């Protein structure tokens, strides 16, 4: 505390009007907080964390290790005791003013405030926390006798508990929050309480941290503004045709199928980073699907519905509108997985309407699903199945929370500290606004996708049942290009590579972009930010492929644009939405993208 800051008992110069107003706000907010918690619908226990079976396995393995190898376990404990005891002594000396605390712990962005290094109390809290975290992670790593899948899950959820208990997550041990409270005479805490109550009210009493200022954006006004028209609509989708910006376009049209877990405008946030606008500017006739945001009436919609009333319907409409026999396609994430299923089905039926396919961050082989695999065991999936059976859909809350926990310090604890302890307004960040604008998932489709594709990996095994056919990866034989992202925590790039490697196409291109699930795809050439890898050889392992790959500076967009142009035919006069004779139904971005269905 500096000399010009007030001590807790110093009331000199207190702004009594401000204090009274804050007390009134606290009383009002406390009432709203109580009401929000009272109205809480509650989340079934099976969706709150892994089942007890995992912890029982871990305890059994630990006790077995203690019995069979006690020296190893005692050594691990003694190392931790030694570190904590030595530091406790150092901290006592530091508090007595003998010397500054020694600190050899690794740098951690959570502890950026200088007080974590210089103040004996905060340094003691930080070091003891990091010693404990190291001990817990080491104990898990040393466990033997656990199935690899169980050990991976235990490691993940162990780290979640460790991250949750960081001293930065508590007001009494967060110097940034306490300094801000003193500086603002408590105003930051009042503002933080208001932010907390607002987020609870928005999610029926469940806590989901708001990441962006929702008042800063409006879809169709300052994001998702590329001109176009809705040219077809059914209960599953709106089909948007974008207005050309070139006098001529390639004859073969392009359809993008975005994921229906989120909304399509991730590819059209702003003009400077809009993949949609960039594609149009390259001379392609572009159609983009905007999926409906389902409510409980969509309970019986399954993967077959998305294929038949989504993919096949859109392909049929684009062929009619452009008077072409073939189309090019793009599938992003889950939409790429389903595009693969559609192509397999079309192969079985002898339908040759698709000229080429591009897959963005797409998994089709789930034998090793990466980080997200920790949520694919029966304990979670049984809970999801019970949830959708009861309610007809999986509320967007669950998917948003799950993906956030894959990067909990960045997407949960860090934003919570800023919002609730520092009282900051969430930033006006278009990407985070989109991230919070999720969609619900139909009940039947959710179970079919999670059980049949993710958990049982039936497509890669060659026996995924759909619409009377047994579908296999080897059926996907159209020319294809797959783009994966190196640090993707949702669709692991190695799993993506393994899936594409098993596809039956003789004309395959694989591009590995730097960065993650979103930034690696929304990577315009003008930014000159993330590079990419290419390798024409399809080696048995993704590690070998990357080791032999060539790195290229800058975005992969131009490389893909050249690949796509070679498969898109001659140039023809540009097509304008509505010139096919069918009147446009609504201007882009359409109506489905703005809908807020009943829960």
Looking only at the bridges linking them, the beta strands covering 254-257 and 327-332 are parallel
Q: Give whole-number Cα distances, 30 to 22, 36, 243, 555, in Å.
A: 12, 10, 51, 50
- The whole-angstrom separation of Cα 427 and Cα 414 is 13
> Across the strands, what pairs with 287?
241, 255
- Note the pLDDT of residue 24: 78
- Note the pLDDT of residue 60: 63
pLDDT tens, position by position, for the chain (599 residues)? 344 444 333 444 556 677 677 777 878 888 888 888 777 776 766 666 666 666 565 556 555 555 556 555 555 555 655 556 565 666 666 666 655 567 888 899 999 999 998 888 899 899 989 999 998 898 888 888 888 888 888 898 899 999 999 999 998 899 999 999 888 888 898 899 999 999 888 887 788 899 999 899 999 999 999 999 999 999 999 999 999 999 999 999 999 999 999 999 999 999 999 999 999 999 999 999 999 999 999 999 999 999 999 999 999 999 999 999 999 999 999 999 999 999 999 999 999 999 999 999 999 999 999 888 888 888 889 999 999 999 999 998 888 888 888 888 998 999 999 999 999 999 999 999 999 898 999 999 999 999 999 999 999 999 999 999 999 999 999 999 999 999 999 999 999 999 999 999 999 999 999 999 999 999 999 988 999 999 999 999 999 999 999 999 999 999 999 999 999 999 999 999 988 887 899 999 999 999 877 65
Contacts of 420 (CB under 8 A, 6+ apart): 192, 193, 195, 196
- Note the pLDDT of residue 318: 97
- Note the pLDDT of residue 7: 38
Q: Give whole-number Cα distances, 484 to 328, 519, 520, 547, 562, in Å.
A: 19, 11, 8, 16, 18
Q: Which two tokens stand for residue 299?
A: 């309970």
Maximum alpha-carbon separation in the chain: 86
- The whole-angstrom separation of Cα 588 and Cα 369 is 35
SS3 138: helix
- The whole-angstrom separation of Cα 426 and Cα 221 is 20
The whole-model pTM stands at 0.87
At residue 185, φ and ψ (nearest 5 deg) are 55, 40
* DSSP per position, 315-359: HHHHHHHHT-S-EEEEEETHHHHHHHHHHHHHHHHT---EEEEEE
- Note the pLDDT of residue 38: 79
Kindly name the residue from 333, 454, 481, 485 that is annotated as catalytic.
333
Annotated catalytic residue 333: yes
- Note the pLDDT of residue 90: 67
Q: Which of 387, 391, 237 is nearest to 299 (CA)?
A: 391
Q: Which two tokens stand for residue 436?
A: 């919070």
Q: Are 285 and 254 in contact (CB under 8 A)?
A: yes
């Amino acid at each position: 505390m500096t000399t010009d800051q007030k001590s807790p008992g110093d009331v000199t110069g207190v702004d009594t009007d401000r204090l009274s107003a804050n007390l009134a706000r606290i009383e009002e907010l406390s009432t709203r907080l109580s009401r929000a918690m009272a109205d809480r619908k509650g989340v079934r226990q099976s969706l709150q964390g892994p089942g007890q079976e995992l912890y029982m396995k871990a305890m059994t393995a630990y006790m077995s290790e203690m019995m069979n190898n006690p020296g190893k376990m005692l050594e691990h404990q003694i190392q931790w005791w030694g570190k904590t005891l030595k530091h406790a002594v150092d901290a006592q000396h530091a508090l007595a003013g003998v010397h500054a605390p020694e600190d050899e712990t690794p740098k951690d962005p959570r502890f950026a405030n200088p007080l974590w290094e210089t103040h004996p109390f905060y340094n003691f809290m930080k070091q003891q926390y990091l010693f404990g975290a190291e001990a817990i992670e080491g104990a898990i790593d040393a466990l033997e006798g656990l199935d690899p899948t169980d050990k991976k899950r235990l490691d993940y959820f162990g780290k979640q508990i460790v991250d949750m208990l960081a001293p930065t997550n508590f007001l009494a041990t967060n110097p940034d929050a306490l300094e801000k409270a003193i500086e603002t005479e408590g105003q930051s805490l009042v503002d933080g309480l208001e932010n907390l109550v607002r987020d609870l009210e928005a999610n029926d009493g469940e806590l989901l941290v708001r990441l962006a200022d929702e008042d800063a954006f409006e879809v169709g006004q300052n994001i998702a503004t590329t001109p176009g028209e809705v040219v077809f609509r059914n209960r599953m989708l709106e089909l948007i045709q974008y207005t050309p910006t070139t006098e001529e376009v390639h004859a073969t049209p392009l359809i993008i199928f975005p994921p229906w877990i989120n909304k399509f405008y991730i590819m059209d946030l702003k003009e400077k980073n809009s993949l949609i606008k960039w594609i149009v500017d390259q001379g392609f006739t572009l159609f983009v699907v905007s999926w409906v945001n389902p409510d409980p009436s969509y309970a019986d919609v399954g993967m077959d519905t998305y294929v038949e009333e989504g993919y096949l319907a859109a392909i049929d409409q684009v062929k009619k509108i452009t008077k072409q026999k073939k189309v090019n396609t793009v599938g992003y994430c889950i939409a790429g997985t389903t595009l693969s299923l559609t192509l397999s089905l079309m192969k079985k039926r002898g339908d040759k309407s698709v000229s080429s396919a591009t897959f963005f961050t797409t998994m089709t082989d789930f034998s090793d699903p990466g980080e997200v695999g920790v949520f694919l065991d029966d304990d979670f999936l049984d809970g999801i199945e019970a949830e959708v059976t009861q309610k007809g859909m999986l509320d967007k809350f669950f998917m948003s929370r799950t993906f956030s926990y894959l990067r909990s310090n960045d997407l949960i604890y860090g934003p919570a500290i800023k919002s609730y302890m520092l009282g900051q307004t969430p930033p006006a960040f278009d990407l985070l606004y989109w991230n919070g604008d999720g969609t619900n998932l139909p009940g039947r489709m959710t179970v079919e996708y999670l059980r049949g594709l993710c958990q049982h990996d039936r497509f890669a095994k060659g026996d995924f049942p759909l619409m009377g056919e047994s579908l296999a990866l080897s059926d996907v034989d159209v020319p294809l290009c797959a783009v994966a992202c190196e640090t993707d925590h949702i669709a692991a790039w190695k799993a993506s590579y393994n899936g594409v490697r098993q596809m039956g196409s003789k004309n395959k291109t694989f591009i590995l972009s730097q960065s993650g699930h979103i930034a690696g795809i929304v990577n315009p050439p003008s930014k000159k930010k993330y590079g990419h890898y290419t390798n024409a050889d399809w080696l048995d392992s993704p590690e070998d492929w990357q080791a032999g790959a060539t790195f290229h500076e800058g975005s992969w967009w131009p490389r893909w644009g050249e690949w796509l142009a070679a498969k898109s035919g001659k140039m023809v006069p540009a097509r304008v939405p509505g010139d096919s004779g069918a009147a446009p139904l609504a201007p882009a971005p359409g109506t489905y993208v703005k809908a807020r269905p009943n829960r």
